[in-house]
Structure 1
Amino acid sequence: MSLGSKIKKLRDREGIQQKDFAKKIGVSNVVLSRYESDERKPDYDTLQKIADYFEVTTDYLLGREEKKYPAWGDEAEFEDWVNDPTVDKFYKEFKESPEERKKALLAVWEILKTQNNNK
């Protein structure tokens, strides 16, 4: 899979429009379109912004490695988890929550993890 098709696939999966994603990584919509059609390659800084936004490695984007998420052991398991509608709903709601609510939720999560370890 080419760099451009990977960028487009990740963008589509994230549900972000081309113009909005272009703005987030600091390029014009036309430039992003050329990346996605493999007519142009991003410079290093832009490639890093793309990787950071999608939380993948630059090596994955460049085709140097198959694993997108280096911290996750089994990519198939990760894909199942990411595509779970409950996880998707939680992620979107969490991402849009105020910082105070995020901190509170993370504190609750730490408590739950501790309780689980005591069983």
Structure 2
Amino acid sequence: MGDLYKRLAMLCEERGISGYRMCKDVGIQPSIMTDLKMGRRSSVKAETADRIAKYFGVSVSYLLGNEQKEKPAGGEHDILDDVDIAFYGEYKELSDDDKAVLRDMVKVMRARRARKQEE
């Protein structure tokens, strides 16, 4: 069992989701998690790492174990990506007002999560 799998499992546990759910939400094959767990692979493609990092709101460097402290991916663009993933691509079809409400909600949730982690 590699470090990447352990980090992904920890992030899934913190979010209260299964590895399977994360894979489906991100749009990758669930077998990736199995292969990481069984040691048949130790890494993922850069594009996949980027999508997973955005999903969890962490940097790719943190995801790969190169940073000890979790850092948000940051920026308004990343919030939009998170919201779009969460809504299975339907975010783009919402009105501008509804998009603004969702962006604000994500900001509040991220701030709340950061406060909880500091405690």
TM-score (norm 1): 0.54
Structure with higher Rg: it is: 1
- Report the number of matched residues: 83
| Paired amino acid for 2:63 | L
Q: What corresponds to 2:15 in structure 1?
A: 14
RMSD: 3.2
- Partner residue, 1:32: 33
CA distance in 2, matches of 1:70, 1:21: 18
Query: Take 1:58 and 1:101, find their aligned partners in 2: how far apart are those partners?
Result: 26
2: CA distance, partners of 1:13 / 1:45? 23
- Structure-2 separation of matches of 1:57 and 1:33: 23
Aligned mate of 2:101, from 97, 100, 103: 103
Q: Identity across aligned pairs (percent)? A: 26
Structure 1: tracts of 5 or more residues without a match: 72-94, 107-119
Distance 1:18 1:62, change over 3 A: closer
Stretches of structure 2 that go unaligned for 5 or more consecutive residues are 74-85, 88-93, 105-119
Change (3 A) 1:70 1:26: closer
TM-score by length of 2: 0.54
Partner Cα distance (1:20, 1:57) in 2: 20
- In 2, are the aligned partners of 1:18 and 1:33 still within 8 Å (CA)? no
CA shift for structure 1 position 18: 2.2
Residues 20 and 60 of structure 1: CA distance in aligned 2, closer, same or farther (over 3 Å):
same
After superposition, the Cα gap between the structure-2 partners of 1:67 and 1:13, relative to the gap in structure 1 and judged at 3 Å, is same
Letter of the structure 2 residue corresponding to residue 12 of structure 1: E
Kindly state the Cα deviation for residue 103 of structure 1 after the two structures are TM-superposed.
2.3
Distance in 2, Cα, partners of 1:19 & 1:26: 10
Secondary structure in structure 2 of the residue aligned to 1:4: helix
